[in-house]
Copies of this chain bind each other. A is one copy, B any other.
Amino acid sequence: MKDIILSCTQCKKEFSPQRIHPRCSACNEPLEVTYPRLEKAEIQFRGTLLERYRDFLPFEQIHRKISLGEGNTPLLKSNIVAAEIGIQSLHFKNESQNPTWSFKDRGTALGLEHALSLGFSRIGTVSTGNMATSVAAYGARAGLETYVLVPHNLPSEKIAPIAVYNPHLIMVDGDYGDLYYRSLEIGEELGLYFINSDVPFRVEGSKTIAFEICEQLDFSVPDYVAVPVSAGGNIRGIAKGFEEFHRVGLIDRMPGMIAAQASGCSPVVNAYQAGKETIERIRNPGTIAHAIENPFPPSGNQTLRMLRANEGIAVKVSDEEILAAQELMARDGIFGQPAAAVPLAAVKMLLDRSYLQPTDSVVCIVTGSGLKYSAALENKSFDIKTTDLERLTEAFKR
C-alpha cells in the first residue's frame, strides 16, 4: 500500500492503513483514507477503474484479474425529463451499468483490493441486496471464501441473485443495526474482512463516481449532485472525490451536494433540517425504496458534517414522489430501482419550491437497476391493449 493514513472523520485520530475495523476506537465515528502526497496525481487513460485512478487510490499493486469491469458508466444528458421538470441542464449518472448493476461494485473492488493487500482469504458483508450481490460476485471471482449475512426475512426473490455466486449465505434473525456492529467484532475475532457499507476503502470506490463525472463534463463542475443516502458511504465518497480533484486543481470549485432520503426513513435529513449534530435512530422505517431503508446509518453523522461544510441540501420525498420519479426517469430511457429515482424526485421537488433554479445544472446518481426490484411496479396499472392477429391494425389507431 501507499503512504496513506486512516483518520477519524470527527476527532482526527490516526490509524494504520492495515486496520480493518472501519470506526474510530476513541469516538466511534467512521474513518477515512487521507493522502499526504496527492499533489502530483494524474488520470490514466487506459486500464481498469483502479488502474485509471491509481494516483488517487491507496494501492501500489493492483490485482487486475479480480476486476469485473466496474465503473466507466454513462453520464446521460436528459432530453425529455429536463424539459418536463423545467431545468436546463440535467444529467443522469447511470450506475445500473455496473457488473452487478449497482454502484456497489466500485467500492467492492476497492475493499477487496484492501483485503488482498493485507493477505485476507475470507471476506464478508452485511446487506439486504445490492452490496450482498456485489460482494458475492467479486468474492467468487477472486476465489475467496465469502460470507454474506442477510436479514432472516429477506424475500426469496432477492435470495437467488445473491446465492447464484455461491457465497456462504447466512440468514440472521435479530436487529439489523446490531448485526452491522456484531459483524465488525466477528471480523476481528475470526480474521475476516467485512466490506460493509461505509468502510473507508469502499468510500474510496465511490470517489470514482465523482472523478468520472468531472471527466465526462470536461472538468466543468455541475452546480449540484443529488445522491440517495442510506448508510452514507456513497455520498461521502462522491463528495470526497470532488474535493480531491479540487485539491489537485483538476476542477475549480465544489458542487453542492444534495442528500436525498425517503420520508419513511430519513434520519440524516431529519437531523440536518433540525440543526442537530448527530442522527437519531428511526423506530419504524418504511419505504418502497428498500435499498436506502437504513434506520441508523453508520456514516450518518459524518454525512451531516460533510453537508454542513459543503453548504449542501438535505431533502426527503414520499414513496408516491419516488414512484412518479421512477416512471419519469424512464421517459429518458433509464429504468432505476426506486432508491435510484430518489435524487430525481428530490430535484423535482426542490425546483417546484424554488430551492433550485431552472438555470442550475444538476447531476442525479442513478444507483441501481430497476430489474433489482421490479415488484415495485406490481400495483401499477399500465395501459395495455389486447388484440388478435386479424384485428391487429386497429390497435395502431389512436
A137 contact set on B, CB distance < 8 A:
330, 333-335
Find out whether the CB atom of B333 lies under 8 angstroms from the CB atom of A164. Answer: no
A138 within 8 A of B: yes
By secondary structure, the A interface counts as mixed
Closest B residue to A378 by beta carbon equals: B160
Find out whether the CB atom of A330 lies under 8 angstroms from the CB atom of B166. Answer: yes
A393-B190 CB under 8 A given contacts A171-B384, A335-B164, A335-B165: yes
Q: Least Cβ distance of A112 to chain B in Å?
A: 11
Closest B residue to A141 by beta carbon equals: B333
Find out whether the CB atom of B72 lies under 8 angstroms from the CB atom of A179. Answer: no
Which of A4-12, A74-82, A265-273, A308-316 is found at the contact surface with chain B?
A74-82
A327-B166 CB under 8 A given contacts A335-B161, A371-B369, A396-B192: yes
> Which residues of A, 78-97, contact B by the 8 Å Cβ criterion?
79-80, 94, 96-97
Q: Least Cβ distance of A7 to chain B in Å?
A: 30
Partner of A166, one of B152, B163, B178, B331: B331
A294 within 8 A of B: no
Partner of A163, one of B160, B192, B382: B382
Partner of A69, one of B97, B142, B165: B97
Find out whether the CB atom of B68 lies under 8 angstroms from the CB atom of A140. Answer: no
| Bound: A182/B140 CA distance, A | 46
Copies of the protein in its oligomer: 2
Closest B residue to A149 by beta carbon equals: B392
| Bound: A372/B96 CA distance, A | 13
> Which residues of A, 369-398, contact B by the 8 Å Cβ criterion?
369-372, 374, 377-378, 380, 382-390, 392-393, 395-396
Find out whether the CB atom of A160 lies under 8 angstroms from the CB atom of B330. Answer: no
A99 within 8 A of B: yes
Chain A contact-residue range equals 35 or more
Partner of A165, one of B99, B330, B369, B386: B330
Find out whether the CB atom of A396 lies under 8 angstroms from the CB atom of B173. Answer: no
Partner of A152, one of B68, B147, B377, B386: B386
Find out whether the CB atom of B371 lies under 8 angstroms from the CB atom of A101. Answer: yes
A182-B389 CB under 8 A given contacts A165-B330, A370-B164, A374-B161: yes
| Bound: A171/B386 CA distance, A | 5
Partner of A396, one of B73, B99, B186, B396: B186
| Bound: A279/B42 CA distance, A | 56
Find out whether the CB atom of B382 lies under 8 angstroms from the CB atom of A160. Answer: yes
A321 within 8 A of B: no
> Which residues of A, 124-155, contact B by the 8 Å Cβ criterion?
137-138, 140-143, 147, 149, 152
Shortest beta-carbon contacts, A-B, top 4: A69-B74, A141-B333, A174-B389, A163-B382
Interface residues of A (CB under 8 A from B): 65, 67-69, 72-74, 76-77, 79-80, 94, 96-101, 137-138, 140-143, 147, 149, 152, 157, 159-161, 163-166, 168-175, 178-179, 182, 186, 189-190, 192, 326-327, 330-335, 369-372, 374, 377-378, 380, 382-390, 392-393, 395-396
